[in-house]
Structure 1
Amino acid sequence: MSILTTTKRAFRDLGALTVLALLSEQPRHPYEVQRLIRDRRKDFVDGSPRSLYHRVDWLVRRGLIEVADTGREGRRPERTVYRITDQGRDELQSWLTTLLSTPLYEHPLFSAAISFLGYLPAEAAIVALDARMVALEGDLAGADASLRALRGQLHLPRVVLLEHEYGQALRRAELQWVRSLIDDVRAGRLAWAGDADFAAHRQRSTVGGPQPASAK
């Protein structure tokens, strides 16, 4: 059965997707897949051996990859090399096409915290947002250095580093937005928890709304 018709959890299993993609390049042993995950900085993947072998087994059971070769060198444990199947290649293309073409909106912790920003004292909100801004600037600098190393030392082509570019674009956009939000808070352009506008909105959004005078 296609991953796209199974559970949403399986569809979002980026570890399985990564194993499938790396095996589409050439047959590999899981240790080599693990090394590539680390070298190419696929930080969205849990590259631990336990997690990796779990995903390899999962893909084998679904016929998306298969054993290509099994060998042993000296006293070393038996090494199994896996390759992608024709069904796996079809699934990889379908999986990637759907992920690229279909926006999947998720709610990170920051999004939830922002929705309750007005419950903090304004000065405390500014201090917290200032700290986030500094952290984002540090993340940007570190990620830029990492990206330069991946290009310069490993000579990786841009096409396998696009998620890093995308991550940087998101960080820059968030940094710009946080700066503008801090400016709005400082300038008093937002209704705050203690303000009359905020209190009125909270009352209107209460389930059932305020009771009319005739109902008393």
Structure 2
Amino acid sequence: MEKRRKVSNPLALAVLAWLVLKPMHPYELGRRLEESEKDRSIKYNRGTLYMVVKQLAKAGFIAEQETVRDTPRPERTVYALTPEGRAELYDWLGELVARPRHEYPHFGVALSLLSVLHPDEAVRLLTERLSALNAEIEEIRGRVEAAAARGVEWVFLVEERYRAALLEAECRFVDELIEAMRRPDYVRKWREQFGSRT
């Protein structure tokens, strides 16, 4: 059973992970998320980041270490990981790595209702999706190859490789689905079920 977390936003997990490296203020945390492109895997905006930092501090996972003025901007509060925060990080990350979790992607919702669409329209839309998926795979491959050429270790690219693998599997699935929806027996059954209602 999934453990109930004091702070459950995945952005909180990223904050804890970055604070393992060194204490930081939220602005620096945000900059590092963007520079490392972790914001492609974790939903992020500055307002949410500051809210999550406050929640982590309230939960005792991080603590104010100092206030600095390193630029002409206002003072910034630097946060450090507490022992409780370190324990939470490893427990939470371990759970996410070890245990599959049922998620509710939007495409799954669409698939559960796909039979409502006329087979020709479904095939057209799925073909459009297939094209978008292939473009995204190529973009990810280019990003990974460029990063590897700059000497970035594979472990820092693993989430992009995972994303590409999921998209490749989805492409195979969509290809098979398109073929199934073009079969005359499916079209005939669809017309019998929905034809008089469209």
Q: TM-score, normalised by structure 2?
A: 0.87
The answer (yes or no) to whether the contact 1:38–1:47 under 8 Å persists in 2 is no
SS in structure 1 at match of 2:64 = strand
Aligned to 1:90: 87
Residues 136-173 of structure 1 deviation map (CA, whole Å, 9 limit, x = unaligned): 011111111222233334x4322232111111100000
Alpha-carbon offset, residue 37 of structure 1: 0.9
SS in structure 2 at match of 1:167 = helix
Aligned to 2:173: 177
Corresponding residue to 1:78 among 75, 79, 88 = 75
Structure-2 change in CA distance of 1:111 and 1:47 (3 Å): closer
Moved more, 15-24 or 114-123: 114-123
Alpha-carbon offset, residue 178 of structure 1: 0.4
Corresponding residue to 1:67 among 47, 64, 67 = 64
Aligned to 2:42: 45
SS in structure 2 at match of 1:162 = helix
SS in structure 1 at match of 2:103 = coil
The answer (yes or no) to whether the contact 2:119–2:190 under 8 Å persists in 1 is no
Stretches of structure 2 that go unaligned for 5 or more consecutive residues are none
**How many angstroms apart in 1 are the aligned matches of 2:22 and 2:148?**
22
1:160 is aligned to 2:156: yes
Aligned to 1:202: none
Structure exhibiting the larger radius of gyration computed from Cα positions: 1
SS in structure 2 at match of 1:5 = coil
Aligned to 1:213: none
The answer (yes or no) to whether the contact 1:46–1:52 under 8 Å persists in 2 is no
Alpha-carbon offset, residue 189 of structure 1: 5.5
Work out the percentage of aligned pairs sharing the same amino acid. Answer: 33
Stretches of structure 1 that go unaligned for 5 or more consecutive residues are 200-216
Q: Counterpart of 1:107 in structure 2: which amino acid?
A: Y
SS in structure 1 at match of 2:78 = strand
Superposed CA RMSD in Å reads 2.3
The answer (yes or no) to whether the contact 2:10–2:42 under 8 Å persists in 1 is yes
- Return the structure number with greater helix share: 2
Aligned to 1:101: 98
Q: TM-score, normalised by structure 1?
A: 0.80
Moved more, 124-133 or 80-89: 80-89
Aligned to 1:207: none
